[in-house]
Amino acid sequence: PRLLAAMFYAIDYEALQNASTRRIPLADLLSDDTTLIPDLLSTANVETANDLAQTLLLNQGFEDLTKKSLLARFIKQFPSVQSLLAGQAAETSEEEALIVSQESFNAAKSEYEELISKKIPENKLAIQVARDHGDLKENSEYKMARQDQDLLLSRKNELEVDLSRARVTDFTDATVENVSIGSIVELKEGSSGNTQRYSILGAWDSDPDNDVLSYKTPLAQALLGKEPGATVTTKIGGNEEQWTVLSIARWVDAK
């Protein structure tokens, strides 16, 4: 199973680095050799197989049809993977897509890969070592390791859902005619008369110190679709504020 995880990681890494449509030899090998995945899964347990299936689903180095073909090999050995995938499909269909930048997507993918390849395995080992120390009721190391496990698995599940919803954009679809994801908006604050410029970017790009807003924030949501001259009202934390759109520019043109 470790070898298969390493292969998935290498394929995904190459796809992210190249950002092209050229074929990846290692991905072709997994696809063409129908016995390779079953052989690599021969010593895996159900939990490991599920984790690897999730990793495959999120991998950018395979086309969708290839993923389905490879997942069928998982399901043949571990039928429970089928229900896992069905559950994810239903969950994803009920959730709206998350528009994200390539940079933020890569960061989330890296965090996920570190969780499943390093932090969670290390935590499992820590739990086993602590369990070997004796009485679990009085074993503070064991309790702390289990608490860490809860946090790690919760974050893993959160990232899996978010990454499955993510849709990467380069923000080139933004226009200067109305506010959209990828806009730089100059606003006039009604209460003070001051002007402020905000960049409205992806769901994971929020950087308030540099006036970058996620499009999911209340102000950005109120502004989306508005044209220059439009006025919007926000109510955040009980405070109501009026904003007037003075101008709109494209973030990609200002990079």
Domains recognised in the chain with CATH numbers: 1-94 (no CATH), 96-169 (1.10.287.180), 183-254 (3.10.50.30)
* Eight-state DSSP code of residue 115: I
Contact yes or no for 11/26 (Cβ under 8 A)? yes
Of 36-40, 87-91, 134-138, least confident by mean pLDDT is: 87-91
- pLDDT of 135 higher than 70: no
Q: How far apart are the C-alpha atoms of 125 and 54, rounded to whole Å? A: 22
pTM: 0.63
E strands of the chain, at which residues?
98-101, 166-169, 183-189, 195-201, 212-214, 231-236, 239-250
Closest CA to 130 of 114, 152, 147, 150: 147
Q: Is 47 exposed, middle or buried (0-12, 13-18, 19+ CB in 10 A)?
A: exposed
Contact 38, 78 (CB under 8 A): no
pLDDT tens readout for residues 196-240: 999 999 999 999 999 999 999 989 999 999 999 999 998 876 788
170-to-163, 167, 174, 234 alpha-carbon distances in Å = 17, 10, 10, 28
pLDDT digits (tens, 9 = 90+) for 72-131: 899 999 988 887 666 555 555 445 789 999 999 999 999 998 998 899 889 888 888 877
Bridging pattern class, strands 212-214 and 231-236: unpaired
d(CA 131, CA 122): 14
Q: Cα(104)–Cα(145) distance, rounded to whole angstroms?
A: 29
Distances (CA, A) of 177 to 129, 193, 198, 219, 246: 61, 23, 16, 18, 12
- Residue 129 and residue 110: Cα distance in Å, rounded? 27
